[in-house]
Amino acid sequence: MNHAYIDQDNELENGDGAEELYERNRFVVTKGQEPIRIDKYLLSKIEGATRNKIQKGIENNFVLVNNQPVKSNYKVKPGDAIVTFSENSPESHEIVPEDLPLNIVHEDSQILIVNKVPGMVVHPGCGNYSGTLVNGVVGYLKRKDPELTEDKLPRFGLVHRIDKNTSGLMVLAKCEQASFFLAKQFFEHTVERKYIALVWGDFEEDSGTVRAHIGRHQRFRKIMAAYPDGDHGKEATTHYRVIERFGYTTLIECKLETGRTHQIRVHMQLIGHPLFNDDTYGGDRIVKGTIYTKYKQFVENCFAMCPRHALHAQTLGFVHPETKKMIRFESEIPNDMKSVIEKWRNYAAVKNIQ
């Protein structure tokens, strides 16, 4: 059987969870450094790097010296400030093609846009080696062209991910050029990403911003935590806007400025509004409202209607790697979230608690 290969990093939640798959490294050339080619210099500085990857990164303007792109033969000198964008994915795993149902929103020679269903892991790893989105994409490509062999399969790449139980839009690159071009946009925060979320509680304001570093929990390493003082993790910024109020819950839109693992979920927990039915960050219990039997039964019925955290990646916009024009995609809220939103809307109207 033919296989494709894809890189993956050390993941959370059964191989799914991190948003951006590229990270930044910064180096300042020290005094006394002899003038050597920048590709050779970076080879000694970046763990796991290869000269080929470094040179390709330089070709795609993923290496900046004093905020300017350079050529591979540039020779570093003391005081140079070097910034690199590098893959955060050291391991490789075989991808077995599978015939899986996929909702492909758009496809061309450079990219695939997929509307991921909740419950589907994005790529193999950590105990999930089949049934993933990527398995389905490889199977789809082979069905389109049965003559594809391992060495001819497009080296498509993930430049971002969404959580297993988050639904919505994802872009995959079908070639290396597109992968670099898209990854740079994600890293530079120029990609438009909007999510719809149902969260616990009401907001005093109609909009706001959460800024707090996000990193692995210091004690429970399989989950993430917010660090408002910036003493751990990486900077993260989420902008939110109230769409509709239901008294005990609120429907909001979240716009990501950064893309950290579980960012919206962790930030909403931090400000006291965990996502509805988020069993990792405290949303799978009654957070707001009474504890009377009828209300408890109502909430449990809502949990049953939407048996996952209520988060949907609705909008995705970016500059196309070939046309260099801005394109934007929208995705409808899936039925499980629609149903629970309508149930809360009716409850709020009857109880007059909006």
Residues classed as catalytic: 163
Nearest to 321 by CA among 106, 155, 177, 137: 177
DSSP 2: -
Residue recorded with tokens 């405290």: 282
Q: Where does the chain show beta strands of DSSP type E?
A: 4-8, 22-28, 63-65, 68-69, 81-87, 91-95, 104-107, 111-116, 157-158, 167-173, 192-200, 207-211, 213-216, 224-227, 237-245, 249-256, 311-319, 326-330
DSSP state of 30: P
Strand-pair category, 213-216 with 224-227 = antiparallel
| CA distance linking residue 184 with residue 59, whole number of Å | 13
Q: How far apart are the first and last CA of the chain?
A: 57
Contact 310, 275 (CB under 8 A): yes
Burial of 56 (0-12, 13-18, 19+ CB in 10 A): middle
